[in-house]
Amino acid sequence: MSRFDAVDALLASAQGSAFTAAVARVEHKGRLLFERAYGSTRDDALGKPVFVDTRFDLASLTKLFIATVLLGDVGRGLVSLDGALERDITPRMLLAHTSGMNSGADYRLLLDRNIERFVEHEPLVAAPGERVLYSDLGFIFIGMLLERLHRRSLAQLADECFGRPTLGFRPRQSERAAIPATEHDEWRGRVQGVVHDEKAYLMGGVAGHAGLFGTAADVAALTGVYLALCHPERRERSGRHIALPREIVWAAVSEQAYDPVLRRGLGWALKTNDENSCGRAFSMESFGHTGFVGTCVWADPSRDLQGVLLTNAVYFGRRDVRDLRAAFYDACVEAVER
């Protein structure tokens, strides 16, 4: 018997009802303990097997990568976390979702609009710094800020910063059939290999809030940067190359804004209660994020543990998969502590 049998059984039983495709990856103290693929890219004759290196639409996990690019610029002194941008909004506010920018916009209202101009001029719905309001528009603005600062596209910046061949925006046409399909909508039909998020789609597939495709290992590598800097004794063997000062990492995974449902760090969400998708067993120090299509990552620095679960849960409709995610993370803790 493997100590991860419960994790495996949970995901195997969910395949075909909660998702058609999934990859789970668990790392403890920087070591890979469990990695497994489930299902196929579609629930029809066009489906292809899923492997541990299958790329998924990462959805809002994109925000973690884009936040890291910006935090790297903060660490190099190119940007001030508390320097005022437009409308007295600061980078700290954008990263902590306290900018006052609206959460999003109905894509049908944006079909004939310049989305960047819309983001810049859409009225704020709260005063900057007043409260947490999770905002796709805020991260679109971060993407715009980075492109202007570096005079390069966000896609180029992601390639340069992370240097992972399986991570990137806009998969090639030849790669799309191997990527798990997401939702069927009246606008585009079955979405596969192109970004599910409508706003990112209208921006050509490259945006600060969504659009990256990658593997479970790509997500774990990013999370590992933050965990390694929380555990300096293993920093040298982490194999990570993203340069972030330790004080920036601590700020990113520490409370920057309180919310009774989900506290906010810089880019990262922080465990706030046992109803969060990281489950009951992960400690209150835990940080993570979810993606609308069914992706998630959570890390518990007190255990030096992280779990990545990539799925295409929206294939079967826009249902809440919090219980599945929480059960996965509870099972991961049980496996590690057996």
The pLDDT of residue 230 is 84
Tell me the whole-structure pTM to 2 decimals.
Answer: 0.96
Q: Within a domain: residue 254?
A: yes
Asked whether the beta carbons of 33 and 21 are under 8 A apart, the reply is no
Q: Within a domain: residue 164?
A: no
Q: Within a domain: residue 221?
A: yes
Q: Within a domain: residue 188?
A: no
Asked whether the beta carbons of 310 and 282 are under 8 A apart, the reply is no
Asked whether the beta carbons of 142 and 67 are under 8 A apart, the reply is yes
Spatial distance between the Cα atoms of 325 and 319, rounded to a whole number of angstroms: 13
Amino acid at 126: A
What CATH number corresponds to the domain at position 41?
Answer: 3.40.710.10
Spatial distance between the Cα atoms of 211 and 193, rounded to a whole number of angstroms: 10
Enter the tokens of residue 36: 């497994």
Q: Within a domain: residue 200?
A: no
- Number of structural domains, the chain? 1
**DSSP 8-state symbol, 245:** -
The pLDDT of residue 11 is 98
The pLDDT of residue 270 is 98
The pLDDT of residue 238 is 39
Q: Within a domain: residue 251?
A: yes
Q: Within a domain: residue 243?
A: yes
Exposed/middle/buried for residue 260 (C-beta within 10 Å: 0-12, 13-18, 19+): exposed
Reference 286, options 314, 325, 319, 313; nearest CA is: 325
**Enclosing domain of residue 237:** 5-55+212-337
Reference 223, options 167, 284, 297; nearest CA is: 297
Read off the pLDDT of residues 65-88 as tens digits, 9 standing for 90 and up: 999 999 999 999 999 999 999 999
Positions in the chain short of pLDDT 50: 236-240
Asked whether the beta carbons of 239 and 93 are under 8 A apart, the reply is no
The pLDDT of residue 237 is 41
Q: Within a domain: residue 35?
A: yes
